[in-house]
Structure 1
Amino acid sequence: MERNYLFFWLSACLVFAVDRLTKVWAERNLQLGDSVTGIDGWYQWTLYHNPGAAGGIWSGHSGWLALISILAVLGILWFIYRGPHDRNLLLLLGLGLMFGGALGNLYDRVLYAYVIDFIDPVGKTYVYNLADKGIRWGLYLSIIGLWCSGRTLAKESQNVVS
């Protein structure tokens, strides 16, 4: 295995592990639906069992949502190993964050038929978890990584033509 692929796996494992630890903490220390001051003025902790996707959409379809999560996980693995992405650390980090986040939420869907959310930004209408942030920031880093790959490939092809 390439050393940079190890970077992908370490970032995925880190997101998954931190997500699981924080969800276990939330389940043990918070009451369902009650809000507790977290970071004063920024966040509160509110335990919520989300039976759907973002914001509870598609509630009651946990089987389909689990299938979508499985396909996302398999799609990321296919993409990682199908192409020469081993030189692009931003892309590998982004895909690792998304992979770990998708596994974290898939774990919840399979074991509980809902996702454990507990991070509640003050003044907002949504509650999320660290897996959700791994997916979000992983997407941003992956887009930047793909953009950088495109620029590198364009430069390399110009050098070959010249």
Structure 2
Amino acid sequence: MKRSYLWFWLSACLVFGLDRFTKVWAQTSLTLGDSVVGIDGWYQWTLYHNPGAAGGLWSGHADWLALISIFAGVAILWFIYKGPHDRNGLLLLGLGLMFGGALGNLYDRLLYQYVIDFIDPVGANYIYNLADKGIRWGLYLAVLGLWFSGKRLAKESQNVVS
């Protein structure tokens, strides 16, 4: 395995592992629907079984959501190994976070037919988990990494033409 892929696999394993650990904690420590003070004034812990995506969107379509997660994972792996990029660390880190998050939620969908959410920001109307944050922050880092890769690849192609 190329050393540059290390960032991808480390970040994917970190997100998946932390997501599983915290979801097991939530399932064993919290009562479904009850809120417990987490970080006072910022977060509370509320166990929620989300049958859909993003706050219950597409509830009742766990099979389709699982297929979408599988497709996303395969697309990320394809892009990592075959895609047109220069394998920079920021891009690989972001894609790894997204891959680990997609696997974390896919695991729940396949095992339970719902996703375990428990992080409940005070005053917000949504509940999420660490896999969701891995996907979100991974997307930000991957887009930034792609931007840097695009600039670098464009500069290299100009040097070749010159």
TM-score normalised per structure 2: 0.98
**Aligned: 1:94 with 2:94:** yes
1:83 Cα offset (Å): 2.9
% of aligned pairs identical?
81
Which stretch of structure 1 is more off in the superposition, 33-42 or 150-159?
A: 150-159
Secondary structure at the aligned position of 1:14 is classed as helix
Partner residue in 2 for 1:122: 122
Instruction: Kindly indicate whether the alpha-carbon contact (under 8 Å) linking 1:49 and 1:117 is maintained by their aligned counterparts in 2.
Output: yes
In the TM superposition, what are the counterparts of 1:70-89 in structure 2 within 5 Å?
70-83=70-83, 85=85, 87-89=87-89
Aligned alpha-carbon RMSD (Å): 0.9
Unaligned 5+ residue runs, structure 2? none
- Give distance in 2, aligned partners of 1:10 and 1:84: 22
Provide the residue aligned with 2:113 in structure 1.
Answer: 113
Structure 1 residues without counterparts, runs of 5 or longer:
none
Given that 1:101 and 1:133 are in contact with CA atoms closer than 8 Å, whether structure 2 keeps it comes out as yes
Residue type of the alignment partner of 2:99: F
TM-score, normalising length from structure 1?
0.98
> In the alignment, is residue 144 of structure 1 matched against residue 148 of structure 2?
no
Equivalents in 2 of 1:59, 1:112: separation in Å?
Answer: 14
User: How many residues of Structure 1 are paired with residues of Structure 2 in the alignment?
Assistant: 162
Letter in 2 for 1:34: D
Say if 1:2 and 1:86, in contact at 8 Å, map to a contact too. Answer: no
Cα distance, 1:10–1:73 mapped onto 2, change above 3 Å: same
